[in-house]
């Protein structure tokens, strides 16, 4: 695959100097621009290796690095300024070298930067295909119709008796907004096979469908992937047997969030194996009904109400022609999406001892056209899982319009 390399400097001598150091292939593309030309050439910078001479434009260099975080930036300075070097790395520079760096070392340090460019462009090709097939939205917020993708694939897997594994992958709550989405996607796409399917179900959160494999093989794959992820990223996997789409989603989300909770409570335990955490069976940690009701009241106050409010704020600004409402009370929480001809509701209740029900209903023209129930153990309802279920609810609601 050809690489695109962009040299940026206000010193024309710098272009000749660096061009001699680069070992370009015939297929590689080399562009050279001054800082003033960048606004007109901005479309060429994304997905390129940027080599920036910052000697007379340090602030402009830092701004470029910040804007093009998806493109590896190598800063070339005339001297080894430790203070400025630290600023570049903090802003997101891939590497910092000086003009005194020997040619052999310079070329060696270009190799990992060019490898990242190759991976990012491969990732972009995958994403373009998904957008073209109307599976992924152009802004990559969520799969436009991952439910249909899953329904079709699960049906085919069952008909053809194919061994397959379904999984959910997500950073923990502290890391999910700190990780660039391209980073996780690139690692995952570089490790799964071409026929496997990667799907966003929320920002920085993914479903993955792995074909012709089993849980033992997936465990080895995940251990390999985890070594390449520098942040707290977790997964839950289930073999596909006779489950429905929603049953599979519930299974993997429960395993995912159990792994996150387990890690939170056991910071000294490393390399937790997939499926090493088993369910609690039918036992309940609550000794009586009154205590259970009190605990559910705490969940309404500390989990349900804040998550409902955050999701209302998030989607109210994005969706036109609909209203989003939410309310909570003693023993329940309601989240509504109201369009011109439909109402979708997501209702959390605690109707009995030691269980929580989530009832999802789509009503069109005063008739319930789609109703389903998700039942959870009390300890399974935490903010990350509730947020994920609401993201699914919003995706399904948009598809039903």
**Do residues 18 and 7 touch, judged by C-beta distance below 8 A?**
yes
Q: Can you tell me the mean pLDDT for 362-383?
A: 75
- Take residue 60 and report the two structure tokens written for it: 């402009």
Helix segments in 269-368, DSSP class H? 289-299, 305-316
Q: Can you tell me the mean pLDDT for 248-267?
A: 77
Q: Supply the mean pLDDT for the chain.
A: 79
- Take residue 79 and report the two structure tokens written for it: 């001297």
**Do residues 354 and 327 touch, judged by C-beta distance below 8 A?**
no
Ordered by where they begin, the domains of the chain are 4-124 (3.40.50.2300), 134-265 (3.30.70.270), 289-399 (no CATH)
d(CA 324, CA 311): 9
Element (H, E) at 248: helix 245-265
Element (H, E) at 74: strand 73-77
Listed range (27-31, 128-132, 342-346) with the worst mean pLDDT: 128-132
Q: Which residue has the tokens 């060429």?
A: 44
Listed range (28-32, 76-80, 319-323) with the worst mean pLDDT: 319-323
d(CA 362, CA 381): 23
Q: Can you tell me the mean pLDDT for 379-390?
A: 81
What confidence score (pLDDT) does residue 397 get? Answer: 79
What confidence score (pLDDT) does residue 266 get? Answer: 56
- DSSP letters spanning 6-53: EEE-S-HHHHHHHHHH----TT-EEEEE-GGGGGGGHHHHTTSEEEEE
**Do residues 370 and 362 touch, judged by C-beta distance below 8 A?**
yes
For 85, how many CA atoms within 13 A lie in the half-sphere containing its CB?
Answer: 11
More confident residue, 219 or 57: 219
**Do residues 50 and 71 touch, judged by C-beta distance below 8 A?**
yes
When pLDDT is cut at 50, 70 and 90, the band that residue 314 belongs to is confident
Q: What predicted TM-score, i.e. pTM, was given to this entire model?
A: 0.48
- Take residue 371 and report the two structure tokens written for it: 């109703």
Q: How confident is the model over 222-256, as pLDDT tens digits?
A: 988 888 876 678 899 999 998 888 888 888 888 88
d(CA 10, CA 36): 8
Q: Is it the case that residue 274 has pLDDT exceeding 60?
A: no
d(CA 225, CA 341): 45
More confident residue, 274 or 158: 158
Query: Would you call 166 helix, strand, or coil by DSSP?
Result: strand
């Amino acid at each position: 695959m050809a690489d695109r390399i962009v040299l940026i400097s206000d010193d024309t001598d710098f272009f000749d100097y660096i061009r001699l150091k680069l070992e370009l292939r015939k297929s590689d593309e080399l562009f050279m621009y001054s800082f003033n030309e960048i606004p007109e050439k901005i479309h060429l910078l994304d997905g390129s290796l940027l080599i920036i001479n910052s000697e007379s434009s340090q602030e402009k260099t830092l701004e470029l690095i910040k804007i093009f975080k998806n493109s590896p930036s190598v800063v070339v300075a005339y001297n080894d300024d430790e203070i400025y070097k630290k600023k570049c790395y903090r802003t997101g520079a891939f590497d910092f070298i000086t003009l005194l760096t020997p040619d052999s070392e310079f070329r060696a340090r270009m190799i990992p930067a060019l490898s990242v460019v190759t991976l990012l462009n491969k990732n972009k090709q995958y994403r373009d295909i998904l957008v073209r097939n109307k599976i992924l939205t152009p802004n990559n917020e969520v799969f436009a119709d991952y439910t249909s993708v899953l329904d079709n694939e699960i049906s085919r897997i069952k008909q053809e008796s194919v061994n397959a594994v379904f999984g959910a992958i997500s950073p923990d709550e502290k890391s999910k907004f700190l990780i660039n989405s391209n980073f996780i996607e690139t690692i995952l796409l570089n490790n799964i096979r071409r026929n496997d399917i990667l799907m966003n179900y929320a920002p920085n959160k993914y479903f993955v469908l792995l074909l012709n494999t089993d849980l033992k093989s997936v465990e080895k794959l995940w251990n390999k992937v985890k070594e390449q992820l520098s942040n707290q990223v977790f997964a839950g996997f289930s073999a596909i047997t006779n489950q429905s789409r929603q049953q599979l989603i519930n299974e993997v989300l429960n395993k995912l969030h159990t792994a996150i909770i387990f890690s939170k409570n056991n910071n000294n335990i490393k390399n937790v194996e997939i499926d090493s955490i088993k369910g609690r069976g039918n036992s309940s940690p609550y000794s009586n009904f009154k205590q259970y009701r009190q605990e559910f009241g705490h969940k309404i106050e500390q989990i349900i109400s804040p998550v409902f409010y955050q999701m209302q704020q998030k989607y109210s600004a994005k969706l036109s022609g609909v209203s989003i409402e939410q309310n909570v009370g003693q023993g329940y929480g309601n989240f509504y999406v109201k369009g011109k001809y439909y109402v979708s509701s997501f209702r959390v209740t605690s109707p009995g001892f030691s269980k929580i029900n989530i009832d999802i209903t789509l009503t069109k023209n005063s008739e319930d056209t789609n109703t389903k129930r998700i039942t959870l153990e009390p300890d399974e309802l935490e903010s990350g899982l509730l947020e994920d279920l609401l993201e699914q609810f919003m995706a399904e609601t948009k598809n039903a319009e």
